[in-house]
Structure 1
């Protein structure tokens, strides 16, 4: 190893100034105390949030719901929000949510069509009964059962 006179950090202990070690140690202590302060502040914020949300009470009242909420938060924070699985689940959810609306629309259309069918059938049967000779035509066919009228 080559030592250059006057160069710092060249491995020669006599080349270091005597106050450098004390300054470095103070800086490490200061960083450590700042980290402890940051940790205690974060811990206090989490405790305050927990008290304001009453997490312990919610867990005691509804443990399965809180497990489901924790799974959902973990899924989102774990990066599962923009995955193909999430897209499939959303499509299924939209379909299931839309199912009652589609069912109501289809029932409404079927009811309207049935009412129109009944109205048309009633008009046709009244027109047939008014025609002259309609009863005699039915009577002339012997042995043929007459279809029931609804």
Structure 2
């Protein structure tokens, strides 16, 4: 049995007095006014949040960006976060994000290889000139040094 403030008697209809009905009515009015106060406080909080975020201004300045943000929020709240589609999208995103790093590494390796080729070509080109000079010297009759 629930006892309300201002209620009297043991719960039997015959023991209720006329004043207890007035106490119950006051309680209902109090609950109604508290509910209205809670509703107005909630509306005020939502309005304050709306002014802080300036959603209307953001939508006017960047409608496509806000549409994309709304789609993203809806996707996440709709349960799309842990789906195979999300895994594929993340995998593609990681690949696209890593592409510049891989490209830089490949260009660096190619540049190093090209420099090595240029260096090797100039080193290989020098003995060939000496070899042709030593061939000229041996043709002239001077002995050439032994090669090991």
TM-score bracket relative to the smaller structure? 0.5 to 0.7
The change in CA–CA distance for 1:63 and 1:139 in structure 2 (over 3 A counts) is farther
TM-score under structure 2 length normalisation: 0.66
Which deviates the most, 91-100 or 2-11?
A: 2-11
* Paired residues for 1:1-150 under 5 Å: 26-126=26-126, 129-131=128-130, 134=132
Gaps of 5+ in 2: none
Structure 1: any 5+ residue segments left out of the alignment?
none
Distance 1:29 1:148 in 2: 118
Higher relative contact order (CA 8 A, sep 6+): 2
Change (3 A) 1:24 1:93: farther
RMSD between aligned alpha carbons?
8.2
1:124, CA displacement in angstroms? Answer: 1.2
How many residues are treated as equivalent by the alignment? 147
SS in structure 1 at match of 2:140: coil
Q: Closer, same or farther in 2 for the Cα pair 1:51/1:4, shift >3 Å?
A: closer
Q: What's the TM-score, normalizing by structure 1?
A: 0.65
Cα offset, 1:100, TM superposition: 0.5
Instruction: Decide whether the 8 Å contact of 2:58 with 2:66 is kept in 1.
Output: yes
